[in-house]
Structure 1
């Protein structure tokens, strides 16, 4: 049995009781994941009323399994599934999500992803390297002489939102507003969200959509060399994106394009500093830097859970699922599977084992992964090179935003 007082595991029935909003859990979820691997890698989470998978092979397999998908209403009605009608107070959020890449299945998903994918392939993203370096250096110039900084507000928050805004064609000065909209928006994915969280998300979704609608009109009149113009004017098999598809796609790219990377920069700097290992070794060359970045993604991933609907009857690990059932995969736990990773709770930058699943897998593999990886491979070594003697000034506090994982603030001195 688990020695964690806030976690109850019944191994025989594979039932687990755990409060996702308990700071003892979300501050250090890896301890819980280790206990689950030891006792019950596939389990029914009582509070979430759903089956969860933590084993690497199960998670990797489910992400690629076409019997499971992000949508269900394309093949079944709400009545058939006993699903409630959408809530009136989240209608703007629901409208913004209606054509999201994250929520669609083929053929709609294929059409949208094909139109967007070209901008995110590695060879295109690689061209942004000088811009990312210039921005990171400029931000460090702003606080280097102070001998201290709060890294999220002065660095981590700014780089990903600035780069994705530039890519899409959104003015950089919109950065703070985009961050606010995005933080409200992703509140819909938190465990035990409140009515206030839902109303804030809906309000920001409406404002976000209105803003993007205005940008689309402006780009139709004045095309530019940016992703928004590309999405407006490019066709796939004779079809263009509709206005609603353009709005949903732009919002999901802006949100996904920075929210997770902000968390990951903070998480990575923390885990590196707390390890006490030599950063000159970690970042001695490009190959070592890549391995270090992948190890931070493995051990402190920014997004922990992906969900799927069962599209047809299926059995996974002895559990039978009917059409319409929801299942969840804990990516961050799969990254700690002791059958795949030796001493999985230890940060080892030289590790060369299974690939981490932090960006997902299958047709919904994160479209922004090349950009996120490029940003991390540039800004992490730069930060440690520019600020020798970097250390943590105060105990970092983890945000109550599970199933995301990121810090409230990260106070550093040098």
Structure 2
């Protein structure tokens, strides 16, 4: 059936739902979808929260309980080739034109399962626990003020390039031990790199990602060599010199881990700063009240993460036969979980499409769950809890100057630009 939105009374021409067979046709590349996916997620919740996605050819889950459960279910994992061969699974051989990208991803925390995941995460985790991250509060605050100082007098700004891009990439680079001056180059590599994860990527996207991976890896190897000669008090030195059960990380493991930390440490937070500012300004609510104290600030940040998540989809391989929400899955099947849709499940959140900063109905899933819960979540949350109040206090009367345009990088969700004035 074609579903007509009860909210807009306009059809979604890119969406066909058949509740009887739990099959859905949804063009994830259609701007009408990725620019405003929440009404579509509402339609899926109403008619078919678990469905076979025709275009992606995989079972997809949007319900909060199903997504939360799958993220924690050890019968599902980020990798499958540690227990089955490509031939057995019918998977093609790696593409030669992606050899540098594949090499950079080979030891990524995002892609590994225990015991390798446990070993690598143990070495990194200490730097990202909340008590360590909270020590960065003065530095984050100072960087926010320094950045705003550069454009406050102008009366208008493109927020992503002038503020959102700068804060997260500078902080994660400093933690790892990368000079501030490398920030613009890190952003270029990262933007090319993550287009590998978007729907409908092209050969040009793949070539650009592979080139970025090669250059990124070469740069990191150079920094690793320098840190071996001249250790410092930074995360990279810690990873180089710390043993886990008598083992040191190899250079390949160090490269993959550093790249994933640099990418994940800023890409989603950049999107979320833009998403949150837009959400707050479009809500008509008074920012002074939203950020009046630590508790209201925290709840505002969490509600922004819930209703405008920066990362929408995670995928898992079935490592053994299983049944989820009545769907029989076989070993080697790949499933998708739409985190952003789970955050809008009406069974979990009342009036889920409404921005309500006072909401206290449980945790959102924007950072995932289980062993792959985002290691940088404490850092991202701290940055948002510091940056948003400072931004709105420093720029009273802040308002949107031009209608924002959403980037065409679903399953990430962020803006091309956010032009503001005050």
Q: Please give the TM-score of this superposition, normalised by the length of structure 2.
A: 0.98
Q: Secondary structure at the match of 1:384?
A: helix
List 4+ stretches of structure 1 deviating above 4 A.
none
Q: Which runs of 5+ in 1 are unaligned?
A: none
State the match for 2:26 in structure 1. 18
1:71 pairs, out of 76, 79, 89, with 79
Q: How does 1:12-411 map to 2 (within 5 A)?
A: 12-411=20-419
* d(CA) in 2 for partners of 1:378, 1:28: 27
Shift of residue 281 of structure 1? 1.1
Distance in structure 2 (CA, Å) of the matches to 1:317 and 1:334: 14
Cα offset for 1:6? 1.9
Secondary structure of the 1:83 match is: coil
User: 2 CA distance for matches of 1:292 and 1:275?
Assistant: 12
1:340 and 1:174 map into 2 onto residues whose CA distance is 42
Q: Secondary structure at the match of 2:3?
A: coil
State the shift of 1:291 in Å: 0.3
Residue matched to 2:8: none
- Out of 263-272 and 2-11, give the one that drifted further: 2-11
Distance 1:95 1:183 in 2: 18
Deviation at 1:31, TM superposition (A): 0.7
Q: Quote the offset at 1:2 in angstroms.
A: 1.5
Q: Return the alpha-carbon distance in structure 2 between the equivalents of residues 175 and 155 of structure 1.
A: 12
Distance 2:388 2:254 in 1: 33
Figure out how many residues of one structure are paired with residues of the other and give that number: 414
CA positional deviation for 1:5: 2.3
Deviations 1:124-147 (CA, angstroms, capped at 9, x unpaired): 111111111111101111111110
> CA offset at residue 192 of structure 1?
0.9
Question: Partner residue of 2:3?
Answer: 2
Counterpart Cα distance in 1 of 2:153 and 2:70: 49
The Cα RMSD (Å) is 0.5
> In structure 2, what is the Cα distance between the partners aligned to 1:107 and 1:5?
46
**Secondary structure of the corresponding residue to residue 245 of structure 1:** helix
Deviation sequence 1:355-391 (CA, Å, 0-9, x none):
0000000000000000000000000000000000000
Q: How far apart in 1 are the matches of 2:135 and 2:274?
A: 24
Partners in 2 of 1:166 and 1:400 — Cα distance?
30
Gap regions ≥5 residues in structure 2: 5-11
The CA distance in 2 between the partners of 1:316 and 1:378, in whole Å, is: 39
SS at match of 1:101: coil
